Each structure stands twice: as structure tokens, then as C-alpha cells.
Structure 1
Amino acid sequence: MGLTLYQRDDCHLCDQALAALAAARAPAFASVFIDGDPELEARYGQRVPVLRADADARELDWPFDAAAVRRWLAG
């Protein structure tokens, strides 16, 4: 499953999301920083961090913890 984490530079919530993903032992994912991309900022600006499954476009919005990530990945 391809995963993408949408985030911002200098985002403490994004740091917490990275910790939750590590605790959940999530598979490898791409990190996309939305700063400076008008389309991504419009879509994700107030929602980051957001984890997206590339195959089916499911998204997991913040806030989430390791247990929520595991449930979402199984989902």
C-alpha cells in the first residue's frame, strides 16, 4: 500500500503524527510538504497532517494516534 503524509514545515502536529506512525509501525510512506503549493494548501491547509492511501484515496485526518493508524491501515 502506498502512503503519503501531507504536512507542513515546522509543524509540531506533524512531528506528533510522525511519532504515531512510528509507534504504529506503519509501512514506508512519502512525505509531501504542502507549503508553497497553492493547490495542496487549499486542499490540506487546515487539515495537516493528513495520511493518504494512494490506492483508494482514503485519508486519515489529524488527530490520530498509533491505535487509530493501525485500525485505518487494516480498514
Structure 2
Amino acid sequence: MQKTTLQLYGTLGCHLCEQAKAMVIAGLPADGYVLQELDISESAELMSLYALRIPVLYRPDLQLELDWPFDEALLQAFMSAEA
């Protein structure tokens, strides 16, 4: 079974990013997902897209974004979305 990648866009020292990360980790099933953290400060393109929006959770397989603030229900719906 191929794992679904979730990308969490944020920056170092972003307390909202830490909250989002904790919520995502707590909500991930034991199998099936991989979480990648991406620091937007390392890319001018990511900074221009996400600087005012972080944390943002992204699903590359479906090209879906989930902007903060999100709760557990929104997170579960986001993770269970299908093409």
C-alpha cells in the first residue's frame, strides 16, 4: 500500500505551526501517511505563497490545501478526501 504524503508548511519558531503539527501527528492513523515538514523560509517561492497563511497542510496527491485554523473534524475530512 502506498503511503499518502502530507506536507506541513511553516517556519521555525511559529507556535501555530507547532500546534498544527501536534494536531496532525495525533490525528494520523498508524499506517498510510507520511508527514513532511517544509520550512518556507528556505524558498522565496514558498515565502511568497505561504508567508501570511502558515501553517498550511498540503496533500500533493490531490493538490488540496488546508489552512489554519483547523480542528480535528476538518483534519479528518482532509485526510480522508479522495480524488
Q: TM-score, normalised by structure 2?
A: 0.81
Aligned length: 75
Aligned alpha-carbon RMSD (Å) = 1.3
Q: Runs in 1 of length 4+ with deviation above 6 angstroms? A: none
- Name the structure where strand makes up a greater proportion of residues: 2
Q: TM-score, normalised by structure 1?
A: 0.89
The Cα of 1:19 is off from its aligned counterpart by 1.4
Residues 24-46 of structure 1: CA distance to partner in whole angstroms, max 9, x if unpaired?
12532111000142111000011
Q: Structure 1: which 5+ residue stretches go unaligned?
A: none
**What is the aligned partner in structure 2 of residue 9 from structure 1?**
12
- In structure 2, the residue corresponding to 1:29 is in which secondary structure? strand
- 1:59 corresponds to which residue? 65
